[in-house]
Structure 1
């Protein structure tokens, strides 16, 4: 796998604000996400974690301030766990291949097939590649979503509550894969979560969104009080 070489700063937010009628979600948020970082984003429900992700993905426009992305930045996105019906017809391999054309694997080019095999290996799905996705475990399904997010060589991987609804051992298994991608490939990670045990164990830095302010810093400096009021 390869990660493109970009500016050291992938995301720069300056006095970023977003409001809806009668509701201020983000106010004067300023931070930078550097290439190779692993940033944990925490906060109570409603303080703007998913809103920040949507701003980064350009699904929303800020009400004030600026959010700047490095030119040519490619983003992979892993959503919260979504169960798939047991009768879903595609194999894990074919599901990952949908990222290219929306067609099943036989219609992919040789280069695309090789890339599917590469990302399956990177997330530990090679041995079960031909298993129907509907019969896979929750962790295996989430790894398949992770593989889809990696297929186009992203510079930034966003995990938006991607470990929610998984059991503790499966959460760690998924985050171990993500941490390896961060350490070995320098893939930049933005991890949104309520799980403070995972936040304290995996990210290098934190961004703690609160109703009237925010804090950011090294993960070892995250105050003990951050757990209070969060779902863990």
Structure 2
């Protein structure tokens, strides 16, 4: 009597090992993607998958050239449920701030992307630790110090106190959440979240989300 066969379901596929960190590779060039997979397969703590595997959570390794709008949109989408390691050729301060604002946890320069360096960045990202090259870390410190001076010079009298709603939004923003996810988490509309951020920027003369988070950290709110 023939065995009955169970029809496969669309969600059938590799299941991540709960004792290892699932890692997906996001790269348009198949040869480079294969190289990144090979780099990471040597680490016993990591379980790398091709991007076609729809794992939830874990770490996404994203290769980008110049950080354009499409790259930023992809980073923000991935940051909804993954930590992100960004691999880039080089990065200037505006691109660095934009990357961090998009939810990137760790950055590796392609010239430094040995198997050991890449695996270390993935492990750091999985822990939620910031991992930046030393020169980019210096750029970030300089940017935060400049923001501190500018915000101290530009604060409006009597406007220093943050509301509970503003604090709720900033806490999630600091964790890398984007507008839609923040709205869903707090049961607000996206327009409300955008209005909260716009109000913060106007009251404290802040330039962007990164500046807002840096200000909140400096003032001890986060």
TM-score normalised to structure 1 length: 0.29
**Which structure: larger Rg?**
2
Q: Higher helix fraction: Structure 1 or Structure 2?
A: 2
Q: Higher strand fraction: Structure 1 or Structure 2?
A: 1
Structure number with higher relative contact order (C-alpha < 8 Å, ≥ 6 residues apart) = 1
TM-score normalised to structure 2 length: 0.30
